[in-house]
Structure formats: structure tokens, C-alpha cells
Amino acid sequence: MTGNFRVSRRTLSARRVALLATTIAGIGAAALVFSPGTYPHSALAGAAQAQNLTEKVQQLPQRPVGFADIVEKVKPAVISVRVKIDRPAESSLSEDDLPFPPGSPFERFFKRFGAPNTPRGHEQITGQGSGFFISRDGYAVTNNHVVQNAENVQVTTDDGKTYTAKVIGSDSRTDLALIKVDGDNFPFVKLAESSPRVGDWVLAVGNPFGLGGTVTAGIVSARGRDIGAGPYDDFIQIDAPVNKGNSGGPTFDVDGNVIGVNTAIFSPSGGSVGIAFAIPADTVKSVVAQLRDKGTVTRGWIGVQIQAVTPDIADGLGLKQATGALVSEPQKDSPAAKAGIQSGDVITSLNDAPVHDPRELARKIGTMTPGTTVKLGVVHSGESKTVSLTLGTLPNDKQASNEQNQRDQREVPDSDMPNLGLTLAPASKVSGAGGVGVAVTAVSAGGVAAEHGFQIGDVILEVGGKPVSTPADVRKSLAEARGEGKHTVLFRVKSNEGTKFVALPVGNA
């Protein structure tokens, strides 16, 4: 419709409310006329109820019938990101790629004429993703995995223009990157100031399958998701369809603010199944601010290996609740070690705020500036205390050191513990096991130890909080735990994945 006949959706909504109120009032009046035994005050009551309901309806928050107005506002700020990566070329054909079984008479023909191997050398790989401008002067956010190792980065805006972009900095731990396009008049969007609630509407905008700007809608399905991507996982889960090429694109709320950056999907088939994950806006803010200032991200560090407190571990430590972060090993000369934190301690609070699990502790410490002084609430040997320490800087190359699994077991006197399903020997007698602890030389399939993750090559350092160096020490510690009426006992174990605590049920060994 045109001219004077144009009616907005908001006007229609107001008319619907008025119509509803009129209808309700009419129902009240009808009750007065046709209901036997009614009195004038009943009409007044019916009218009052109708008026009350009308006011409540008018107070309901107005929601858009569609998302066109929001999309029109934010879509120009969303960009397509294309990268070129130079890498050593690999053979383009493997035995698994052949459509014929090995030895088939067609095999040689197919290799010769169907798909010749690519010669060794270098090849250019092209990748695609999404991103969005966060400033008028061309700063844009995308995923680290989109631009990682890129030789060339180009972005295409919503109006079809293509620009060359420079990678200002990236952070692999949060999978975020900041890129820059030369210019001073780009449309941009803002990061949300508040966190979304589960059930809120969201819009995902990006470049799925290289198709260009595409919009999908859904809701926030969950928050605080840990998908095993890294120590700082705190993803927003959404059900808006997100596919390959959406990586780095924004997720908007109904006000047009970015609540997250799309980074991963759960998909057995490779396409959207309604489970996608976005990096929260507050994480994006802190990371992007550091990347813009200095091109890198520095994080606070206390220097401990930590693990979750399971109910079995809580029972073994005598804790009332299975909460906090259990210190499996403080690293040498780390802030934690200098402050006196020991293996077996449980960190329960940070600056008087409860710590529920290791992931929460790592995420909070990681957002703090190195040099900051913090207070840790710690349970040590069953007693609570407060420890103050100054945060160090998380090393960029911090990785758990791995040791070789292979052990030379010749001429080593093994000791069987059938009820645990373990065969043990002094670590000093096992080649490559080191001089401390008791080495695991065999694990019975289906036994208690196997069910709890023990593997050949693991080294038991402590049992029940006491150092062990022989199988006899292990037996003695188990006997003492049984004598104290404990149901489980904690083993401190060094493995390829680092040092950790494992709770095993107490039994005869």
C-alpha cells in the first residue's frame, strides 16, 4: 500500500490491543445482560477486570514481528574473509581415494589418466570465513583459525567491494584475531554490554559455504559451555544454523549488538544440526583490546596443574563438597610454589569469590593482568587458609612436558596387586621412569585401575598423601587408609598428560 493507506506494524499491534480490550469489555457487559442473578456491581467488576487486563497487555514488551529492520542495520558491518595459505604440497591421491580395490585392473588406468599425483613442492590453499567491523577506521574481528598462517587476507564487504587486510594480532587460546583494512568510513557494530539469557533471540550473520552474507535466526540454548577447545572455554551455545564459512562471524541480539563470535559447531555430518558455539562478547572485548594495543595477549599465571574435585576425590581428602580446583602439582619457581601452595591443596576461592571448578579458576586468572596481587582461599590438609600471591605471565609456549611411554622392564622385580589390577615396580629400577615413585609395568584389562585411566608407564608418586618408592609402600598406604575407614584413597600419578590425582576404591591388595 502507498500514501495514506500505509499502516505500520506497530500501529497494527496497538489496534489489536484496543480490539482485545473492547472485546473483553463486551464480554463483561454481556455477562450483565444475559446472566441470571447479576447486579450492577457485577458489571463494574467485569469492566474493572477488563481494564486491568488491557493495561497488562499494553505493558508487555514489544517484540519485532520479523528481523528485517535489525538485519538492515547490522549486515553492512559483516564481511567475508578469504585467505591464501602457502604450504608444502602433498600427493593429491592416496590408496583410500581410489574407487577401485588394490590390484584391480582399473587401478593403474585410474592413477595414470584419472587423477595424476601432484608433484612435491608448494601449493596455495584458499580458505574462507567471516568477520565484522568494530570501528569506523577498519578494525575487524574474526577467528584465529581463519587467518592463521595466511600469506594474504582479503575481505569483501556487503556492497561487494574487496580490500586487502592486515593481521594485527591473534590469540590461539580463545581463537580470536584482529585484522585491519585501510579506510575511515566503514559501517561497524558494537559488542554487547550485558550477557544474553538462555532463551533470548539471536541472529547469526556470515558467509556459509562461501555464499556471501547470510542471516539465520535462533535462540541462546545454553551458556558456559566447555567443548574442550582450550583452558578458557566459556562458549555461548545457540541453535541458529551456522555452517562452514560462518567462522568469525557475529551473533547479534535483537538490539543489534554482538553477543558473540561464531567459532565452532557440533556436527556429525559437517552441516548445521542446530548446535553452534560463540565466544562471548566480554571475552572478545578483553582480547581485542590487547591485540589492538600490542598485537599479543598476556595473561596472568599462578603456575599449577589443576584438576576437578570429584566426589571420590573429595571423600579421599575428607572434604564435605566436591568443589574447587585440586592442585596436582605446583610448577617449580612458579608464583604458587613461592607462596607455599602444595600438591593436594584445593583452591576454593579467588579474591573471596567461590571457585567451583578448575576451568573457572583458569579463566578468571587468565583475564587478569600479570603483576596483580590476588588472594586464594586454600584447603590444606583439611584446614582452610588464605594465600596471597602476585600473578606471573603465562608463557607463550607453555605446554605439559611429555615423557616416553616405553619402559625397559628386563630384570625388574614386579609386584602384583590383583585387586587393583596393577603390576608395579620401583621407578628407579625401570629404565626411563625416573628415580622417584613406583612405575606401573602392567594394567589388567577391566580392572579397577584400568577403569580409572591407569596405563603402562605411569608413575605413582604418592598414595594417601604419602610418598611411595616401592610396591610395599603402596600396600602400606592402602592398609592405613582401610584402617582409617576410608572408602577411597588418592593416588598422585605422573603420566604423559602431566601429574594428576586419581581416586581408587580401597580394597585388599
- Using alpha carbons, list the distances in angstroms from residue 69 to 73, 75, 508: 6, 10, 71
Classify burial at 97, counting beta carbons within 10 Å of its beta carbon; exposed 0-12, middle 13-18, buried 19 or more. exposed
Three-state SS across 159-221? CCCEEEEEEEEEECCCCEEEEEECCCCCCCCCECCCCCCCCCEEEEEECHHHCCCEEEEEEEE
Give the side-chain half-sphere CA count within 13 A for 377: 12
Catalytic residue among 145, 171, 221, 312: 145
247: annotated active-site residue: yes
Contact 494, 458 (CB under 8 A): yes
- Catalytic residue of the set 80, 130, 221, 247: 247
* Cross-strand partners of 505: 488
Ramachandran region, residue 274 (left: φ > 0; alpha: ψ -120 to 50; beta: rest) = left
Is 112 exposed, middle or buried (CB count within 10 Å of its CB: 0-12, 13-18, 19+)? exposed
Instruction: Please count the other Cβ atoms lying within 10 Å of the Cβ belonging to residue 212.
Output: 13
Is 145 a residue of the active site? yes
* Catalytic residue of the set 175, 253, 357, 458: 175
CA distance 69 to 256: 10
Spatial distance between the Cα atoms of 389 and 397, rounded to a whole number of angstroms? 23
Please give the torsion angle defined by the CA atoms of residues 109, 112, 116 and 117, in that order, rounded to the nearest 10 degrees.
100
How deeply is 353 buried, as exposed, middle or buried, from its count of CB atoms within 10 A (0-12, 13-18, 19+)? exposed
Nearest CA among 219, 189, 191 for reference residue 203? 219
Q: Is the dihedral of CA 461, 464, 470, 475 positive or negative?
A: negative
Task: Pull the grid cell for residue 470.
Answer: 616401592
Can you read off the three cell numbers belonging to residue 463? 598414595
Contact 290, 298 (CB under 8 A): yes
Question: Which residues are designated catalytic?
Answer: 145, 175, 247
